Amino acid sequence: MEILVLTVSDRASKGIYEDLCGPTMEEMLRASLDSCHVHRKIVPDEKDQIINAFNEFESCDFIFTTGGTGISPRDVTPDATSEWCEKLVPGIGEYLRNESLKQTKHAVFSRAVAGIHGKTMVVNFPGSVKGATFCLELFIPMISHSLRMIAGEGH
């Protein structure tokens, strides 16, 4: 299984601060999944650069983004994801938001989405280590079912 963890952050892409979410998510995935290859990339909060990264790694089974999911003017990750994906899967974002609301009321500001492009599923996660790992932990048990469904294998 091939996975891209894409960190979307102006400051991390410029080296102003260290990306902590990407490495933490990679570690979680490697510990939870057998035989997965995890790529990591950092891009600024620019829609075209996010989409370029999606195109570069479109052969991956999953692209997990971290960052850029809020309501600030620079938060464009959900917009890029929605534009790139051929089908949206709104239940994933709804589920992650609903569970996150049990942890913090600030989850109401998340615009995170999920969708499918070809055979690649993209899921947006928050930009904080706490939020990203919480949501990834919720999603990991659904990975194998997602793969089967996208491949047309059914339930």
pTM: predicted TM-score of the whole model, two decimal places: 0.96
Tens digit of each residue's pLDDT (9 = 90 or more) over 82-93: 999 999 999 999
CA–CA separation, 115 and 98 (whole Å): 18
Q: Is residue 54 part of a domain?
A: yes
Buried b (16+ CB within 10 A) or exposed e, 121-139: bbbbbbbebebbbbbbebb
Is 47 domain-assigned? yes
Task: Tell me, yes or no, whether 155 lies in a domain.
Answer: no
In the chain, how many domains are there? Answer: 1
Q: How far apart are CA 28 and CA 6, in angstroms?
A: 15
- Contacts for 21 with CB less than 8 Å, ≥ 6 apart: 7, 66, 67, 125, 127, 128, 129, 132
Domain assignment of residue 120, yes or no:
yes
Q: Tell me: the pLDDT tens digits for 80-138? A: 999 999 999 999 999 999 999 999 999 999 999 999 999 999 999 999 999 999 999 99
Does residue 30 lie in a domain region? yes
| Residue 126 lies inside a defined structural domain of this protein | yes
Residue 103 lies in a domain: yes
pLDDT category of residue 155 using cuts at 50, 70 and 90: low
Name, in order, each residue with C-beta under 8 angstroms of 89's C-beta and a sequence gap of 6 or more.
Answer: 114, 115, 116, 121
| Residue 134 identity | F
Q: Give the C-alpha separation, 128 to 147, whole Å.
A: 26
Which residues are CB-neighbours of 146 under 8 A, at least 6 positions away? 62, 121
Q: Name residue 121's amino acid.
A: M
| β-bridge partners, 64 | 5, 123
Q: Can you give the residue range of the structural domain that contains 93? A: 2-150
Return the CATH number at 20.
3.40.980.10
